[in-house]
Amino acid sequence: MKYCTRAAVSRNERIAESFYLMELDVGRMASDSSPGQFVHLRSLTPGWPFLRRPFSIYSSDGEGSIEIVYKVVGKATSLMSGVTPGDTLDVMGPLGTSFAPAASTTRVVAVGGGMGVPPLVFFCRKYADALDEVHLLVGAKTTAEIVVPIGLVVEGVKVTYYTEDGSKGARGLVTEGLRPALDAAGEGRVEVMACGPRDMLAETAGAARERGLRCRVSVEEVMACGVGACLSCAVPRAGGGYLHACKDGPVLDGDAVDWERWTGE
Ligand SMILES: Cc1cc2nc3c(=O)[nH]c(=O)nc-3n(C[C@H](O)[C@H](O)[C@H](O)COP(=O)(O)OP(=O)(O)OC[C@H]3O[C@@H](n4cnc5c(N)ncnc54)[C@H](O)[C@@H]3O)c2cc1C
Ligand code: FES
């Protein structure tokens, strides 16, 4: 079920340079929220842009509160960073499709790049106990851009870091660790999940396809309406036509996307 509610902000904390964690009291929306889904929000503060802004749900207590993690990149996120506890935001959600492992899946290799990590942490929190193994590969430009304290929040999940400057974990792109991680995934039914930049998703979907593995990717395409009305979030569909990230996604089957058309390669 989808809700549109005036949500009180109970926490809005800077967790790293340009990165904030916001907790919102959203009532029943919290219990209906699943990993991969997003909220579309706006503030009534003067100066807020015309459109709402989408953010993946990072956690839900299942009772009345959700958290998002956001990076300040422009007008709306800058205004959000100035919100204080007790202020309200107009929140629509939960929207879109979610990451949920297939019934037969026993192991998951999840790949998160940059701000693609938060929904995968929510996935780990919700599903890791029910799976034999979850291996989360986290990629960022530098240590400073790794904002989620994953080891603290998800016990039992294997986490491997890749940074482009080598300041944490291995030096390089997170996709360099993907095939070795799939080779090491061992016995059982392996599933692949990913959220992050377009090229990273394409590479991940390709590696899963080579091995005949189920792959789900979250396409965080720039959005306007968030509900399938404006067609601004088009993603080329395999076989022709377009999918829309807000309504068909953001979590899509890796094979559903025409990666050549989408990445321009
Ligand atoms: C489904 C979904 C989930 C998202 N989850 C998160 C999240 O958990 N945390 C988070 O920090 N951000 C997330 N985003 C991105 C977030 O919505 C944008 O950063 C935000 O809308 C920027 O608003 P702004 O007014 O501050 O910046 P704007 O002025 O609108 O944009 C500033 C810059 O950011 C770029 N930008 C805006 N949206 C995106 C996008 N989707 N992908 C790549 N570049 C973009 C613009 O092109 C521009 O260069 C998500 C986006 C989608 C579609
Ligand atoms: S954002 Fe309007 S159709 Fe997806």
Domain extent listing, the chain? 3-95, 107-219
Residue nearest to atom 17 of ligand 1 (CA): 54
CA distances from 198 to 116, 151, 202, 205, 242 (A): 11, 26, 6, 11, 16
CA distance 156 to 142: 24
Distance 187 CA to ligand 1 centre (A): 38
Tell me what pLDDT residue 151 has: 52
Contact by Cβ (8 Å): 149, 82: no
Distance 249 CA to ligand 2 centre (A): 10
Tell me what pLDDT residue 48 has: 93
Which atom of ligand 2 is found nearest the CA of 247? 4
Tens-place pLDDT, residues 78-96? 999 999 999 999 999 999 9
Ligand nearest to the CA of 223: 2
Ligand nearest to the CA of 227: 2
Distance 133 CA to ligand 2 centre (A): 35
Ligand nearest to the CA of 248: 2
The CATH T-level fold of domain 107-219 is Rossmann fold (3.40.50)
Tell me what pLDDT residue 150 has: 56
User: What is the identity of the amino acid at 218?
Assistant: S
Residue nearest to atom 36 of ligand 1 (CA): 222
Coil, strand or helix: which one is 196?
coil
Distance 212 CA to ligand 2 centre (A): 31
Question: Could you tell which of 53, 89, 216, 233 is best to mutate to test the pocket of ligand 1, judged by most ligand atoms within 8 Å of the CB?
Answer: 53
Q: Which CATH architecture has domain 3-95?
A: Beta Barrel (2.40)
Ligand nearest to the CA of 242: 2
Whose CA is closest to 37, among 247, 259, 258? 247
Tens-place pLDDT, residues 101-148? 999 999 999 999 999 999 999 999 999 999 999 999 999 999 988 877
Tell me what pLDDT residue 156 has: 78
Contact by Cβ (8 Å): 67, 22: yes
Tell me what pLDDT residue 145 has: 87
Question: Could you tell which of 231, 235, 243, 248 is best to mutate to test the pocket of ligand 2, judged by most ligand atoms within 8 Å of the CB?
Answer: 231
Q: Which DSSP string do the residues of 17-57 spell out, in sequence order?
A: TTEEEEEEE-GGGTTT--TT-EEEEE--STT--SS-EEEE-
Question: Could you tell which of 223, 237, 243, 252 is best to mutate to test the pocket of ligand 2, judged by most ligand atoms within 8 Å of the CB?
Answer: 223
| Element (DSSP H or E) covering residue 94 | strand 88-95
Q: Using DSSP, how many helices (H) and how many strands (E) does the chain show?
A: 6, 16
Scan for tokens 């392996």, then name that residue.
190
Residuewise pLDDT in 10s, the chain (265 residues): 889 999 999 999 998 888 999 999 999 999 999 999 999 999 988 899 999 999 999 999 999 999 999 999 999 999 999 999 999 999 999 999 999 999 999 999 999 999 999 999 999 999 999 999 999 999 999 998 887 765 555 777 899 999 999 999 999 999 999 999 998 887 779 999 999 999 999 999 999 999 999 999 999 999 999 989 999 999 999 999 999 999 999 999 999 999 999 998 6
Distance 50 CA to ligand 1 centre (A): 15
Using CB atoms within 10 A of its CB, is residue 8 exposed (0-12), middle (13-18) or buried (19+)?
Answer: middle
Tell me what pLDDT residue 152 has: 52
Q: Can you name the residues that pair with 39 across neighbouring β-strands?
A: 55
Confirm or reject: Cβ of 49 under 6 Å from ligand 1. yes
Confirm or reject: Cβ of 59 under 6 Å from ligand 1. no
